[in-house]
Chain A
């Protein structure tokens, strides 16, 4: 089995995995599959096949099951994305407050369509489903953090900040 992590990454993964595993019964290690995959993803930026195999091996499940889980949940990244992920909620409450125009604005500023990554691999842009921010719509998620009450100005500031 190929090792997906550098030595330092492996130390971090092992340390944090031990903390995660402590939450579940000793004979139910597989319950840690979602948090363990997200942990590997935080370290590597995505989930290459070697990471799926490694996590599966550590938790005593098949690599096939790890892949099944990694492709079922939208926050998992079985394919590499840009350095930053910008997701625009376009569900009803956000669209009532301009989310579709907001998405178009981002498409124009980045020169890509929703679902694509900029050629310099800086930003992947895509739509998201309801993010539980309907009272503070429209809402974005940038690298898994919420940005609420978004205006065209916030977008410009955001894009200036992303490296």
Chain B
């Protein structure tokens, strides 16, 4: 079965977003269980689960926790990454909307495991609604004595605060997030030192994604080994994907790790509207190299995607059908990264707008001979030459679109125009027929 319900078991049931409703379904039971264990035992349980970070990089969570220095006098911090800004990704906001206490329970278990008495949930500035939902849940949990000076009555204080960003994709990068949380512009830091050694306010800090932490209660409940067994050899459990674009039923779905993109498109999301065919799938957010229609039978999972030169990323699956222009999509993606480059590293600051300009020229029929070679060369001048992964995130998709849909790029150059009547595809035109276009 491609669909799973480890994380999303009670999502959508009435009242599960309240403390009473959550507790009626056994909520905070995993926290009580964790508090009976020594912190190191909780870390071991999560290590056994093979849980990997759901924010994009896929780093093993338990291993990350074990990088904290031992016998260090400084306070430790837990930072929850809810910056969710990778185009195509919208699962973390659902975690908060559907079951805020599940996230809080995961935060509390993690704080206990790593010895943090303060947790900051960094939410992207645009998620004001989700911030209110989470703050209400924090208040409920505090009043009930679950959070606060005595975590579930234990002699262990835990305060959880929501910190809103103010609109900057780069703050999803963990060191930029820490800079932003310290009240600065989001410029990524040089690593090492890694946050576990010197993070927020120069103190040992663990940064984990929202979905990652929301999964922790389920791991404690079923045990690390059972959770691991649900997944593959190198990656335990299940994961969320956010599916959008050319499908009949877009949305957030929890899948088993053997689920293929074909199953996601056809079985889970009801296929492509209008009887059109899939041309391409962005597998994990816009930075992940695009897959062609011939690659749909690969599983939406870290190792399988890595093996074909792409990435599982943050699980943002964007489906593109045959009527959509790949140059147009690549241009929009390049424009996004150019807009969001923080300006710190020259290859990214200069290279991302340059890529966007070439793609725009191609799409508008103004490109010159040699531009495709220049574009390819630019991707190589950015890849691996920046402090943080934003440069790679911009160069990888451009290179993949160019390599895999070379004929479309060449047709733009040859015809000196975009050969598609509706560059964004027929679906865009159907949904907004009559609005704007042609009404001069």
Query: Which residues of chain B from 83 to 98 have any CB-CB distance to chain A below 8 Å in the complex?
Result: 84-90, 92-93
Query: Does B429 have its Cβ within 8 Å of any Cβ on chain A?
Result: yes
Interface string of A130-146 (1 = CB under 8 A from B): 11111111100100111
| B-side interface residues, number (CB < 8 Å) | 66
Q: Are A132 and B167 in contact (CB under 8 A)?
A: no
Q: Determine the chain B residues whose CB is within 8 A of the CB of A146 once the complex forms.
A: 126, 129
Interface string of A1-40 (1 = CB under 8 A from B): 0000000000000000000000101001011111101100
Known: A34-B183, A129-B169, A132-B124. A98 touches B431 (CB 8 A): yes
Q: Which residues of B contact A (CB under 8 A)?
A: 84-90, 92-93, 120, 124-129, 159, 161, 163-169, 180-186, 201, 242-246, 250-252, 282, 286, 316, 318, 320, 324, 329, 332-333, 336, 339-340, 342, 424-425, 427-429, 431-432, 434-437, 439
Query: Does A74 have its Cβ within 8 Å of any Cβ on chain B?
Result: yes
A3 to B284, CA, bound (A): 48
Shortest 6 CB-CB distances between A and B: which pairs?
A104-B436, A98-B432, A33-B183, A73-B166, A134-B244, A74-B167
Q: Which of A30, A92, A102 contacts B88 (CB 8 A)?
A: A92
**Shortest distance from the beta carbon of B299 to any chain A beta carbon, whole Å:** 21
Q: Determine the chain A residues whose CB is within 8 A of the CB of B320 once the complex forms.
A: 96
Q: Are A135 and B431 in contact (CB under 8 A)?
A: no
Q: Are B93 and A96 in contact (CB under 8 A)?
A: no
Q: Determine the chain A residues whose CB is within 8 A of the CB of B186 once the complex forms.
A: 72-73
Report the number of A-B residue pairs with Cβ-Cβ less than 8 Å.
179
Interface size range of chain A in the complex: 35 or more
Known: A72-B186, A134-B316. A108 touches B167 (CB 8 A): no
Q: Which residues of A contact B (CB under 8 A)?
A: 23, 25, 28, 30-35, 37-38, 59, 61, 65, 68-69, 72-76, 90-93, 95-108, 129-138, 141, 144-146, 152, 155
In the complex, residue of chain B having the shortest beta-carbon distance to the beta carbon of A30: B183
In the complex, residue of chain A having the shortest beta-carbon distance to the beta carbon of B120: A23
**Shortest distance from the beta carbon of A95 to any chain B beta carbon, whole Å:** 5
Q: Which of B87, B167, B243, B246 contacts A91 (CB 8 A)?
A: B87
In the complex, residue of chain B having the shortest beta-carbon distance to the beta carbon of A23: B161
A92 to B280, CA, bound (A): 13
Q: Which of A30, A32, A92, A138 contacts B286 (CB 8 A)?
A: A92
Known: A74-B167, A101-B437. A95 touches B244 (CB 8 A): no
